[in-house]
Amino acid sequence: MNRIILGIESSCDETAAAIYTTERGVLANSISSQIKSHSMYGGVVPEIASAQHLPVVQAIVQQALATAGITIQDVDAIAVTNKPGLPGSLLVGMSFAKGIAYGADKPIIGINHLEGHIFSACLEHKVEFPTLCITASGGHTAMYLVEGYGDYRLISQTRDDAAGEAFDKIAKLLNIPYPGGPIIEQLAATTAFTDYFAYPRGKKDMIDFSFSGLKTAVLYDLIDRGWYNKEEKRFTALQPTAKAQVASSLLCAISDIICAKATLALKSHANVRSICFVGGVACNTFIAKQLTTVATQHGLSLYVPSKQYCTDNAAMIAFVGHYKLQQGLIDSLALDIL
- Contact residues: ligand KG4, CB under 6 A: 12, 137-139, 164, 167-168, 179-182, 185, 279-281, 283-284, 311-312
Choose the one of ligand KG4, Zn ion, none that binds residue 161, judging by a C-beta under 5 to 8 angstroms depending on kind. Answer: none
Peptide bond connecting 240 to the previous residue in cis, omega within 30 degrees of 0 = no
**Least spacing, CB of residue 228 vs ligand KG4, in Å:** 20
- How many whole angstroms separate alpha carbon 45 and alpha carbon 83? 18
Choose the one of Zn ion, ligand KG4, none that binds residue 179, judging by a C-beta under 5 to 8 angstroms depending on kind. Answer: ligand KG4
In terms of CB distance, is 97 or 246 closer to Zn ion? 97
CA dihedral 99, 337, 84, 57 (to 10 degrees): 20
In terms of CB distance, is 33 or 67 closer to ligand KG4? 33
Question: CA–CA distance from 240 to each of 209, 243, 244, 246 (Å)?
Answer: 32, 7, 8, 12
- How many whole angstroms separate alpha carbon 203 and alpha carbon 24? 45
**Neighbouring C-beta atoms of residue 148, cutoff 10 Å:** 10
In terms of CB distance, is 185 or 331 closer to ligand KG4? 185
**Least spacing, CB of residue 312 vs ligand KG4, in Å:** 4
**Neighbouring C-beta atoms of residue 92, cutoff 10 Å:** 23
Choose the one of ligand KG4, Zn ion, none that binds residue 156, judging by a C-beta under 5 to 8 angstroms depending on kind. Answer: none
Choose the one of ligand KG4, Zn ion, none that binds residue 68, judging by a C-beta under 5 to 8 angstroms depending on kind. Answer: none
**Least spacing, CB of residue 275 vs ligand KG4, in Å:** 18
Residues 265-324 that bind Zn ion (CB under 5 A): 312
How big is the site for Zn ion, counted in residues (CB under 5 A)?
Answer: 2
In terms of CB distance, is 85 or 110 closer to ligand KG4? 85
DSSP codes, 224-242: HTT-EETTTTEE---STTH
Q: 144: exposed, middle or buried (C-beta count within 10 Å: 0-12, 13-18, 19+)?
A: buried
**Least spacing, CB of residue 164 vs ligand KG4, in Å:** 3
Choose the one of ligand KG4, Zn ion, none that binds residue 182, judging by a C-beta under 5 to 8 angstroms depending on kind. Answer: ligand KG4
In terms of CB distance, is 279 or 321 closer to ligand KG4? 279
In terms of CB distance, is 34 or 137 closer to Zn ion? 137
At residue 140, φ and ψ (nearest 5 deg) are -145, 145
**Least spacing, CB of residue 116 vs Zn ion, in Å:** 8
At residue 246, φ and ψ (nearest 5 deg) are -65, -45
- How many whole angstroms separate alpha carbon 156 and alpha carbon 325? 29
Which stretches within 197-299 are classed as H helix? 212-224, 242-268, 285-297
In terms of CB distance, is 47 or 128 closer to ligand KG4? 47
- How many whole angstroms separate alpha carbon 192 and alpha carbon 258? 19
**Least spacing, CB of residue 271 vs ligand KG4, in Å:** 28
**Least spacing, CB of residue 71 vs ligand KG4, in Å:** 30
Residues 112-151 that bind Zn ion (CB under 5 A): 137
**Chain positions contacting Zn ion, by CB under 5 A:** 137, 312
